Structure 1
Amino acid sequence: MSTPTQKHTKSRKNIRRGAIRLKKISLANCPKCKKPVKPHTACAFCGSYKGKVVKKVRVPKSLRKSKKQEKSKK
């Protein structure tokens, strides 16, 4: 393996490494349920995209049981 011909100073090394970082995730609010969602993607909570329902969302088991109990009580 070859060796570097010149020394890289601490400042030059740190400037180069300063460009390697994580980007902040930009978030937008879903117009239907108002929860934060990544832009240009369907909402994971309500399944809508641009005001239209594009995918079915599964209801968690804990909520399913509570809804069944409410129906049986009526």
Structure 2
Amino acid sequence: MAVPKFKMSRARTRSRRANWKASNADLQQVTVRGRTTAVPRRLAKAYQRGLLQIDD
């Protein structure tokens, strides 16, 4: 595990944290009952198996 060798200032810490960005989920086209919609890739099989319903 990385161990800091010097104390990091509050401003430096907060500016580093502020630059972190979450990425959007990858969407995959899924056709269920004749309707095609984009859903997150990790949920595609659940929609195809009928475990999740596509809302209107």
TM-score between the two structures when normalised by the length of structure 1: 0.36
Instruction: From the CA coordinates, give the structure whose radius of gyration is larger.
Output: 1
Structure with greater strand share of residues = 2
